[in-house]
Structure formats: C-alpha cells, structure tokens
Structure 1
Amino acid sequence: MSAAPLDPSEHRSGALLDHLARRMRLRSESVLAPLGLRPRHLVALTVLRAGGGISQQALASTLEMDGTNIVGLLNDLEAERLIERRRSPEDRRRHVVELTDDGAKRLSEAECALAGAENEVLGALEPTERETLYELLRRATTGPISCGEAVREETPPDTSC
C-alpha cells in the first residue's frame, strides 16, 4: 500500500529546522571559541555540574562516547583546570570526574554567551513565540519514534510520499 501523494501546498519544516540548527550551531561555536570551549566540552561540563562527581565510565555512557574519545575530551578539560580526575577511594581502578570552581565559572560564562547567541538567532521572534517554539520542540523531541525513524540508516530513503 503506497502513501498518498504529497500535497505541494503543505508546509514541511525539516529544511527550516536544519537551517535554524546550523545557524544556531555556527553562532554557538563562535561564542564558545573565545572561552576555549567546544560544544562537546559544554555538554560534559553541564553533565558534571548536574551529577557532581561521576565515574569516567558513567560519563562516557551518559555522553554516548567511547573510552578513547572520553579520555581526549577530559584531557582537554583537565588541561584548562575545568575538571579534576582522581582515583575512586572505593575502587582504585576507576576515575571520578568532578567540575572545578574554574569549570563552574567557565560554564556560567558559556551559558551567558550562548543566551546572547540564541537571542541573536531568534531575534525575529517575540518572547511568547520563543516560548511556544521551545515547547513545540521539546514535545517533538520527546514524542514516540516512528517506524521510519527506527529503520537502519543503510536502508535507502523512501522517495514516495
């Protein structure tokens, strides 16, 4: 059974969402760079702030990163004294990672810079429209995954609408 043909008058938001995401990503990267941060650094610092001390393995799992990549990420952050790694007193084979005071301060600076970047990118929207956009995006990202999204990436896209 094939789907009904796409009505050309219907609006599709995928391309617009992609464009907006690219604009936001580029602007975010430009305000994070002077702080010596990249988006992946920001995510790790945010997780560490929320979770307090966390094992390196648990952090890798939360960030969905493999062991090699998490070590590189943590090396970057540790070199800037934004995090501290130490052996777990309970299990000397494990490392516990914590946000330092400098890390918390840099994270706050980054969040302020990102708020400014978001204001620039979404400047055409009124505050109530931004809130509506946020709520709609939040709901869309927490909705159930459709059958099409669950199909493996190797499967050629279905070009019929």
Structure 2
Amino acid sequence: MASLPVVNQPPHQCGALLDHLSRRVRTRSETVLAPLGLRPRHLLTLTVLRDHGSSTQQALAATLGIDSTNLVGLLNDLEADNLIERRRSPEDRRRHVVDLTDVGAKKLAKAELAMAAVEDEALAALTLEQREQLYSLLQQATATTDIAACVGAEDESVPPVMYR
C-alpha cells in the first residue's frame, strides 16, 4: 500500500490540542455561567453587541455563524431577561434591530469576570507573556477565516467576531 504524500506539514499538529483545550474551557464556562443564567452562546451574542453596537438580526446571525431561526430562540432568551432589546428598523420595518441593554452590559461584565477565572485555570501553565503571544497568534489565525464562506453568507460587510 502506498503512503500518502505529506505536503508542507508543520512538525506538530495543533488541532487535537486546540480541541481538547476548547472542550475543557467550554465545560468550565458552562459551569460558571449557569448561576448567571447564561450559556456560552449568550455570552458571545452579548459580546458582539457590545463590541459592534446595534445589529440587524440577519447580520447578527451571519456574524455568529448560526441559522437565523436558531438566533430567534437565542434572542428570545436574552430578551426575556432584559439583556437585549429588539425593535423594528426605522429604515425597513420588516427588519429587527438588536441592542444590548444596560442590564445586559452589567451581566456581561459579571460573566467576563467569571470567564477570566476559567481562562486562568485553563492557561495556568503559561506565563502572562505566553498568554499574550497565544492571544496574538489566535487572532492572527482567525483573522484569515472567511466568515461569509463558513456560513454561506453573501453579506461581506458583516464584521468577524473579535474576542478580547
């Protein structure tokens, strides 16, 4: 049996390690966010609204990389807790614009403190300098990801999600 040719592979593959680390972080994240009544997907939505401002539901779905039908359920959860507000777009009454409320901004700040502790646990073996380097490398790697191609969106004006 002939072996497959190896084309420009780095000496180490990162995918399995990134997957393992992300699973650990996600499990802990769910645990620390639950008392706040949030899930990781809620946190991401609130973060996008804070960092990018008001958004139409369609643009928000594309930015988050989720189906607009699933977004409605997610926004229903957040709106029920007064974390976001939906209103009709003045330009196009068929569209809804989503805004972060003051209550949502305060809840997001609490959640980010909880998430900082999770990150401290997960990255405890790294120095502060190494964490900054990891952050920079991950930003660089994700900056080349074409969000529109990943979700099949046609709207290239949708900004990619940037993490802090």
Task: Normalising by structure 1, report the TM-score.
Answer: 0.77
Larger Rg: 1 or 2? 1
In the other structure, the counterpart of 1:3 is 5
In the other structure, the counterpart of 1:108 is 109
> Is the alpha carbon distance of 1:67 and 1:142 closer, same or farther for their aligned partners in structure 2, counting shifts above 3 Å?
closer
> Is the alpha carbon distance of 1:11 and 1:35 closer, same or farther for their aligned partners in structure 2, counting shifts above 3 Å?
same
User: Per-residue CA shift, 1:43-76, capped at 9, x if unaligned?
Assistant: 1111111232221222122222222111101100
> Is the alpha carbon distance of 1:51 and 1:24 closer, same or farther for their aligned partners in structure 2, counting shifts above 3 Å?
same
User: Per-residue CA shift, 1:98-151, capped at 9, x if unaligned?
Assistant: 110000001111111111110011112111121222223333334589xxxx9x
Question: Alignment length, in residue pairs?
Answer: 142
SS in 2 for 1:91: coil
> Is the alpha carbon distance of 1:75 and 1:115 closer, same or farther for their aligned partners in structure 2, counting shifts above 3 Å?
same
The answer as to 2:9 corresponding to 1:20 is no
Runs ≥4 in structure 1, deviation > 4 angstroms? Answer: none
SS in 1 for 2:29: helix
2-structure distance, mates of 1:76, 1:101: 16
1-structure distance, mates of 2:60, 2:110: 22
Query: Cα RMSD (Å) of the superposition?
Result: 2.4
Task: Normalising by structure 2, report the TM-score.
Answer: 0.76
| Segment drifting more, 76-85 vs 58-67 | 58-67
Identity of aligned residues (%): 65
1-structure distance, mates of 2:66, 2:125: 36
